[in-house]
Amino acid sequence: MFVSNFLRISHSIIIDFLVILCIFSVCFYHYAIYAAITFFGHPQPTDREFHPPVSILKPLCGVDSDAYENLASFCQQDYPEYQIIFAVRNSKDPCIEVVEKIIHNYSDLDILLIVSDRVIGTNLKVSNLANAAAKAKYEILVLADSDIRVGTDYLQRVIQPLQDESVGVVTCMYRSLTQGWVSTFEAIGTSTEFHAGVLVSNIQENGIKYAFGSTIAIPKKVLEAIGGFEAIADYLADDFQLGYLPVQAGYKVVLSDYVVEHVQKSNNLVDAIKRQIRWARGKRISRPWGYLGLIFTYGVVTSLLLLIATNGSILGWVGLCICWVTRLVMAWVVGTISLKDPIVKKFLWLIPGRDLLSFVIWCFGFIGNTIEWRGQQLKLTKEGKLLLQEDRSSQLSIKVLISKL
């Protein structure tokens, strides 16, 4: 009798909890729709007379999909004065050939290639950025990952918020150009899940407190105020830190309404899931409470669990229909209307499946602190820093490994 009552009460509590999660998810979806309409419904002003000289820093490692087109897009800016610095660690890196072609084809531009194996920390991308920054001529630095592609008005648009001296960082959202079904499956999650959360955060917190590798515009004085690239050289989420630390120093981070394009290479499913888990673990450590709060955004999953828990009851079906329809509407407004992402428009029907996979990855994000990145086995500390794992084959110490980089 006791066991029977316990199971009945437990089942009732589970159903109530799932109903609450569904309600919160629907509220989040509505708020994301409101946030997207509000943000993109009021375009940020552009002052054509504000065009300070800019140094663009491009850290490179290997050859991305459409590498030439991606990098060349930064050479086609409708902007009076800017410098581009490509930074590579290995003199035999195949991306050097691409850069040399760009330098030849855009000989009228101020383009510099830096090849240096100087390491300032475990995150080798940050070392590349530091090596490039040492040759930057101008006060404003614009950082962008190698797989980003932009339009000719990119620079003019993204530097606009820096007219305000209180702004320390400008960053951008992105839509993906995909190759293959795996990258497509990834991309629809980025546009309709990740960026929905960004837009909500931007409204709730009166501006975000982090940045994205797709674009980070930061004055040198702000970078110096946080301790330079050395301050983030051991962090996995270097882009997050380049937004977070300036906020701690008293500056604002502005989310630009300019949306860049992310050229996402075709991957196999295993590699894609590994990358997603790496990002999940990085988010969990960088923003633990925010990461935990994502449970209130998985309406597709919680409504499905509610349907199962209630044995296909009317309550279960109503909850599922409301959650799924609202989720799809939110995905359409954020992804298709706001970000103008053609992938979302074409593959909207994949959203429920993508959310189910995203939930599984979210769960795995709570487990373990080891990641694989650019061929390195790394461990995440509770502060979000990276430590090289001991090489099992040779049993070399971490210090020896770093000394050989």
Q: What is the CATH number of the domain that holds 196?
A: 3.90.550.10
Average pLDDT, the chain: 88
Per the structure, the count of domains in the chain is: 3
- Chain-centroid distance of CA 42 in Å reads 23
Specify the amino acid at residue 286.
S
| Residue among 159, 180, 179, 184 nearest 170 (CA) | 159
Structure tokens at 55: 């140094």
229 shares a domain with 257: yes
Is residue 49 a part of any domain in this protein?
no
pTM higher than the cut 0.95: no
145 shares a domain with 66: yes
Structure tokens at 26: 């629907």
Query: What is the structure's pLDDT at 133?
Result: 95
* pLDDT-wise least confident of 146-155, 268-277, 303-312: 268-277
Is residue 60 a part of any domain in this protein?
yes
Is residue 27 a part of any domain in this protein?
yes
Is residue 341 a part of any domain in this protein?
yes
241 shares a domain with 150: yes
| Residue among 257, 200, 173, 202 nearest 31 (CA) | 200
pLDDT digits (tens, 9 = 90+) for 347-381: 999 999 999 999 999 998 888 777 766 666 777 77
Is residue 291 a part of any domain in this protein?
no
Averaged pLDDT for residues 306-315: 93
| Residue among 154, 295, 123, 137 nearest 217 (CA) | 154
Sheet holding 54-59, edge to edge: 110-115, 82-88, 54-59, 140-143, 216-219, 167-178, 252-264, 148-149
The answer on pLDDT for 92 being more than 70 is yes
189 shares a domain with 243: yes
61 shares a domain with 29: no
204 shares a domain with 112: yes
DSSP 248: H
Is residue 45 a part of any domain in this protein?
no
Residue 287's alpha-carbon distances to 73, 232, 281, 283, 384, in angstroms, are 33, 16, 10, 6, 10
Q: Are strands 386-388 and 376-380 parallel, antiparallel or unpaired?
A: antiparallel
Where in the sequence is the domain holding 383, given as residue range(s)? 370-403
136 shares a domain with 67: yes
What kind and span of H or E run contains 196? helix 195-204
212 shares a domain with 172: yes
Query: What is the structure's pLDDT at 393?
Result: 37
230 shares a domain with 124: yes
231 shares a domain with 106: yes
Is residue 294 a part of any domain in this protein?
no
pLDDT interval class at 385 (50, 70, 90):
confident
